[in-house]
Amino acid sequence: MAIKVISPGLATTVQDLGRPGYYHLGIPLSGAMDRFALRAANMLVGNDEGAAALEATFMGPELEFTSDATVAVTGADMPVKLDGDLQNGWSSFAVRAGQTLSFDFLKAGARIYIAVAGGIDVPVVLGSRATYPLGALGGHEGRPLQAGDELPVGQGAGGSDGRSVPHDLRRLPGNPAELRALPGIYWYRITESAQRNFFEDTWKVAPEADRIGYRFRDGRPMEFVEREQPFGAGSDPSNIVDGCYPYGSIQVPGGTEPIVLHRDAVSGGGYFMLGTVISADMDLIGQLQPHTPTKFVEVDMETALAARHDRAALLDKVRASLA
Amino acid sequence: MKTRYSFGGDEHIFVEVDEEMSLDAFFKSLSMTNAVRDSQIKGVTEICPANASFQIKFDPDQIHPNDMLAELKSLEGSAEQGDTVLKTRIVEIPVLYNDPWTHETLMRFRERHQDPDATDLEYAARINNFDGIDAFIEAHSGAPWFVSMVGFVAGLPFMYQMVDRPRQIEVPKYLRPRTDTPKLTVGYGGCFACIYSVRGAGGYQMFGITPMPIYDPKQEISYLKDFMVFFSPGDIVKFKPVDRDAYDAAVEEVDANKYSPLMRDVTFSLAEFQSDIDGYNKKLEEVLHGN
């Protein structure tokens, strides 16, 4: 069976839980920006949690099914329609051959995950079906979907419709959004007042926000601690000798607009980083729209680990509710 | 050199071997990442060597970040006395310097450059006190380069020239990054050369272009069949200036999938290199062109 792409939306790609192990060669993890939503969508249709699904950004695609299927849509709040009839989000429903799935305008969040029983069966490349468009790797021909594409669907275990993730277990960022971050790496490069300002200011998501990274603006420019630049670093005070970039790391080129690297991160470069968003809050970034007011909240390692455990516990509750 | 450790959130440890770039820092970083790989610390998911630093990604559900930090620190002592002899390879990369494609691109983004009235090559030659671009190209292609990091995007090599500090070329990056760079552009920023493996954004100065693909996600190119990325840290590169005819001929060979890079296995010794840099580089070139 297959899915025909009638219209692709703005940026729709095949994603799973990603491709670990090649970051040292510049090939990033990729995979769903909101991994929690991807896992939930797959659970709803009876797939392995890491099966490949579609991630659509800001705008939904229009998809025609060539045979019967079980489908679930999670993540952002975007009305789901099957041949024009509204369906519930975060719930599985049956699709008959020839029916068309489409979406209304986005209400909250940024990315939806469309899982189909059996998973999107594009070839596995370096251990994953995730799309990395910059490297033309994985997914459907290494790129976002286009009108006319046909996506193969794997053999499902036969998911059942009418299953639903309870409301209190669904997760979207608040307004203002709060992203918890651990200061570090080159934190000492900015002055104490710049350090304070970073956590005090309310930033706004800039239009340049994609799978590589999210840019933030509207905070105060940062002052650097004066020094003679080390050999090889470059002349700007925000420059370092090119090094590795952690996922979630916060770099501030020129000290003006912080960029938080995400699943398709560039693996390294020459800008200082002042810290890193904790792993528990990475999914939330994937649900931020441009212009969303955002506060960075300083945490320590124990808080970061506790947040990580909370998130794992939330996922366990979803598993239990759908078991 | 003073090694500095920092957590990158709850999943990474960032280790800076030295603030400034040197081959000593690169070798220590490489030796520590090799030690991490050999020690098979549980929970490690990514080991990423960089120019003068490295990064470990790990699963904090398997090992507490403080324990991971202690494990890394325990490896530092032995890495200090680490092997500075490297079994590697030397590869010749043909370059059409001053080519029409990077020239078209650099003209398109001139308002983002420090010197809008010169080309990137002219600018780099001038600020590094060369007598024109020919002398600059001679220096750029005259001594080999160490691949000191692979990354930014898939398969892009950062390279550090194997000459002493006073002869290192240094250039700033563009004032504002370009939104476009031709695929296989030979670029330069800070003290590093690079080859853009894919077309895309970039901030490095552009000096030329190579006909030799270094990344092939489809793995159809003969020498990229086994793995889609050509370079690894520790590779040695020698640039060879070619003219337009030789460039076009190489492109034809690549298109017919008959191109085969000139490369030879070689053992590199940091100590021997440092005791006679020019003599050692000459020997490397003999290896490259010998039988």
For the domain that residue B50 is a member of, what is the CATH number?
A: 3.30.1360.40
- The torsion angles phi and psi of A301, rounded to 5 degrees, stand at -60, -40
Cβ distance B9 to A278 less than 8 Å, yes or no, reads: yes
Contacts of A301 in chain B (CB under 8 A): 7, 10, 65-66
pLDDT score of A235? 84
**Do B199 and B283 reside in the same domain of the chain?**
yes
Taking 70 as the threshold, does the pLDDT of residue A294 lie above it?
A: yes
Mean pLDDT of chain A: 96
Between CA A111 and CA A104 the distance in angstroms is 13
B133-139: Cβ within 8 A, 24+ apart:
B133/B97, B133/B98, B136/B169, B137/B97, B137/B98, B137/B207, B137/B241, B139/B167, B139/B169
Of B81, B105, B126, the residue at which a domain comes to its end is B81
* Residue-level pLDDT at A77: 97
Residue A179's pLDDT is 98
**Among residues of chain B, what percentage have pLDDT more than 70?**
99
Which pLDDT tens digit goes with each residue over A200-228? 999 999 998 999 999 999 999 999 999 99
Token pair listed for B7: 């957590």
Verify whether the Cβ–Cβ distance B20 to A185 is below 8 Å: no
A54-65 confidence digits (pLDDT tens): 999 999 999 999
CA A284, CA B6: separation in Å to the nearest integer? 24
Distance from CA of A183 to the nearest CA of B (A): 8
pLDDT, average across residues B274-290: 95
Note the pLDDT tens digit of each residue in A296-323.
999 999 999 999 999 999 999 999 999 8
Inform me whether the C-beta atom of residue A208 falls under 8 Å from chain B C-beta atoms.
no
Alpha helices (runs of H) in B143-260, residue ranges in sequence order: 244-255
A159 pLDDT above the threshold of 80: no
Tell me what the pLDDT averaged over chain B comes to: 95
Residues 6+ apart with CB under 8 A from B77: none
Instruction: Among B81, B99, B131, give the residue marking a domain's end.
Output: B81
Inspect the interface and report whether the beta carbons of A246 and B151 lie closer than 8 Å: no
Q: How far apart are CA B70 and CA A172, in angstroms?
A: 36
What's the confidence (pLDDT) of residue B257? 97
How far off is chain A from B177, nearest CA to CA, in Å? 11
Q: Do A136 and B172 touch (CB under 8 A)?
A: no
Fold of A177-312: Cyclophilin (2.40.100)
Mark yes or no for CB contact A267/B152 under 8 Å.
yes
Question: Domain check: are B254 and B167 in the same one?
Answer: yes
The residues spanned by each domain of chain A are 2-169, 177-312
Q: With 90 as the cut, is the pLDDT of residue B221 above it?
A: yes
CB-based contact A26 B21, cutoff 8 Å: no
Other beta carbons within 10 angstroms of residue B128's beta carbon come to 16
pLDDT of residue B143: 97
A266, B151: Cβ pair inside 8 Å?
A: yes
The nearest alpha carbon in chain B to A186 belongs to: B6
Distance in angstroms (rounded) separating the CA atoms of residues A271 and A232? 12
- Identify the domain containing residue B112 by its residue range: 87-289
A20's CB contacts (< 8 A; 6+ apart) are A29, A127, B45, B46
Domain boundary among B81, B111, B134: B81
Query: How many C-beta atoms lie closer than 10 Å to residue A10's C-beta?
Result: 11
Note the pLDDT of residue B291.
63
Residues of chain A neighbouring B50 (CB-CB closer than 8 A): 242-244, 268
Query: Would you place residue B82 in the very low, low, confident or very high pLDDT band (cuts 50, 70, 90)?
Result: low
With an 8 Å Cβ cutoff, are B156 and A26 in contact? yes
> Would you say residue B207 has pLDDT above 90?
yes
Residues A213, A262 contacting (CB under 8 angstroms):
yes
pLDDT for position B173? 87
pLDDT in tens, A45-103: 999 999 999 999 999 999 999 999 999 999 999 999 999 999 999 999 999 999 999 99
Instruction: For residue A192, give the H/E element and its range.
Output: helix A192-200
DSSP state of A123: P
* Cβ distance of A26 and B57 shorter than 8 Å: no
Quote the pLDDT of residue A234: 84
Nearest beta carbon to residue B48 from set A23, A182, A185: A23
Which chain B residues contact residue A246 at CB under 8 A? 8-9, 11-12, 14, 55, 57
CA distance B291 to chain A (A): 31
What gap in Å lies between CA A290 and CA A10, rounded to an integer? 14
A191 burial via Cβ count (<10 Å: 0-12, 13-18, 19+)? middle
Tell me: do B28 and B109 sit in the same domain: no
Q: How far is B48 from chain A (nearest CA, A)?
A: 4
The answer, yes or no, to whether residue A172 has pLDDT greater than 90, is no
Both tokens of B99, joined, read 């080519």
Domain identity same for B225 and B105 = yes
Per DSSP bridges, beta strands B145-150 and B53-58 are unpaired
User: Which pLDDT does position B81 carry in this prediction?
Assistant: 72
Nearest residue to A114 (alpha-carbon basis) of A249, A267, A5 = A5
Alpha carbon of residue B47 to chain centroid: 17
Q: Which of B19, B189, B232 sits opposite A230 (nearest CB)?
A: B19
For B107-159, the pLDDT digits (tens) are: 999 999 999 999 999 999 999 999 999 999 999 999 999 999 999 999 999 99
Compute the nearest-CA separation of A19 from chain B (Å).
11
On whether both B54 and B162 belong to a single domain, the answer is no
Decide: A241 and B20 in contact? Cβ < 8 Å. Answer: yes
Q: Do residues B160 and B145 touch, judged by C-beta distance below 8 A?
A: yes
pLDDT band at B183 (very low <50, low <70, confident <90, very high): very high
CATH code of the domain covering residue B172:
2.40.100.10
A134 in contact with B, Cβ within 8 Å: yes
pLDDT of residue B35: 92
Q: Look at residue B255 and tell me whether its pLDDT is greater than 70.
A: yes
- Chain B nearest-CA distance from A134, in A, is 8
Chain B residues 175-194 with CB within 8 Å of chain A: 189-192
- Looking at the fold, whether B39 and B62 belong to one and the same domain comes out as yes
The answer, for A273 touching chain B at a CB cutoff of 8 Å, is yes
Q: What pairing do the DSSP bridges indicate for beta strands B85-97 and B236-241?
A: parallel
Please check the confidence at residue B241 and state whether its pLDDT lies above 70: yes
Domain count, chain B: 2
Taking an 8 Å cut-off on Cβ atoms, the answer to whether A24 and B165 are in contact is no
pLDDT tens for A118-138 read: 999 999 999 999 999 999 999
Give me the residues of A, 29-68, that contact B with CB < 8 A: none
CB contact under 8 A, A305 and B46: no
Q: Is the ipTM reported for this complex over the cut 0.90?
A: yes
CA dist list (Å): A52 to A8, A13, A116: 17, 10, 9
CA distance A136 to chain B (A): 7
